[in-house]
């Protein structure tokens, strides 16, 4: 899986948005396969124009994510979200400023409002999972 540092370095290599969008689509194509059995209503991320499925589990104190979308650009955004959150502790996930990352990459300014809302919905779903994991640990 591509790391956040690699993603930021690669985005910096492109002088134009055509190249950056091509790279974003390439990132989406590199997402790990999403289990067909997880393509359920319960795993749909609400607030996305595209179909986005997100599974968040806790494994040995770390968030483990599976994510997919039916749209190429959104799959690329999901790949960046996965690189940012997968393997983090719930507390680390809550402390991440992922929107700042997307701002640094210049993506927020180049996303349609509906894609931006979908991105925020993915991030919020992961943050909900992290909050629930912390609450369960404190019981």
Q: Which positions are annotated as active-site residues?
A: 48
Instruction: For tokens 């948005």, name the residue.
Output: 17
Q: Do residues 80 and 7 lie in contact, with contact meaning Cβ atoms separated by under 8 Å?
A: yes
For residue 44, the 8-state DSSP code is: B
Q: What angle do CA 7, 98, 103 make, to 5 degrees?
A: 70
Q: Do residues 33 and 39 lie in contact, with contact meaning Cβ atoms separated by under 8 Å?
A: no
């Amino acid at each position: 899986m591509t790391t956040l540092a690699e993603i930021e370095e690669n985005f910096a290599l492109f002088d134009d948005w055509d190249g950056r969008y091509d790279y974003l689509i390439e990132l989406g194509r590199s997402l790990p396969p999403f289990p067909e059995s997880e393509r359920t209503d319960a795993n749909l991320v609400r607030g996305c124009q595209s179909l986005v499925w997100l599974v968040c589990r806790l494994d040995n104190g770390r968030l483990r994510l599976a994510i997919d979308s039916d749209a190429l650009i959104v799959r690329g955004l999901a790949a960046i979200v996965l690189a940012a959150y997968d393997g983090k502790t719930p507390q680390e996930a809550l402390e991440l400023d992922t929107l700042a990352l997307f701002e640094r990459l210049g993506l927020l300014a180049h996303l349609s409002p509906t894609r931006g809302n979908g991105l925020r919905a993915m991030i919020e779903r992961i943050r909900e999972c992290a909050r629930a994991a912390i609450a369960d640990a404190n019981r």
